[in-house]
Amino acid sequence: MLHIKFTFQTDSVIIVRDERILNKGVYVSLKRIKIFSLVGIIICLISSCASTDKKWPNELGSMGFVGEIDKTKLLSNFPLFNRHFEDYQPDKNEINQINKLDGSEMVIFFGVWCPDSQREVGRFLKILQESPQTFSSLKMIAVDFKKTVPAEYQNQFEVKYTPTFFLLKEGKIVAKVIEKPEAGLIYDLVNQL
């Protein structure tokens, strides 16, 4: 059996073939080294995934992106948002209702990993595309699993669930929809005005 002997005096590694060698030192089997190496690699991977730096998905669809994103990048980089965008057919009443929000500001906090976000943000973007309505400002901000709001928004917005849609007029929140709308996103926003 092959073992590795670590000597602490010289920081050298000696490979020995027989455990019966009686020297002062520590013997570690190769099997244990493989296990420790594997555990070390797993820890490195987990810690790198825990980072909150902005990340774009890789070809496997990594769900690690946080930060502000626009419609084009969201739909082209996250297929589940695009699927809901493509599949949703807003009715004419929704399109008429969204016109009541013309000139307002919209801030959306969502998770790229969240099924409710994928559905509601995708549908919302489709309604916007089908209507002549324009917001004075539209910000879409992806948050992490802890729903950490970026520092520049922390004084004004509190997010406990995703998605959370905030409608503002003159910088003040006038309506918000959290997670799952009751009657529909646009109806819920308009009914709060």
The pLDDT tens digits of the residues spanning 29-68 come to 556 666 766 666 666 555 444 434 444 443 334 456 788 9
Asked whether 77 and 56 are in contact (CB, 8 A), the reply is yes
The pLDDT score that the predictor gives to residue 136 is: 87
Q: Which two tokens stand for residue 92?
A: 């004419």
What is d(CA 76, CA 86) in angstroms, rounded to the nearest whole number?
A: 12
Asked whether 65 and 57 are in contact (CB, 8 A), the reply is yes
**Overall pTM > 0.85:** no
The pLDDT score that the predictor gives to residue 72 is: 92
What is d(CA 159, CA 178) in angstroms, rounded to the nearest whole number?
A: 9
The domains located in the chain, with CATH, are: 3-49 (no CATH), 67-191 (3.40.30.10)
What is d(CA 109, CA 140) in angstroms, rounded to the nearest whole number?
A: 6
Tell me which amino acid residue 150 is.
Answer: P
The pLDDT score that the predictor gives to residue 53 is: 42
Q: How far apart are the first and last CA of the chain?
A: 77
According to DSSP, residue 150 is labeled: P
Residue numbers in the chain where pLDDT is lower than 50: 6-13, 15-24, 47-62
The pLDDT score that the predictor gives to residue 28 is: 52
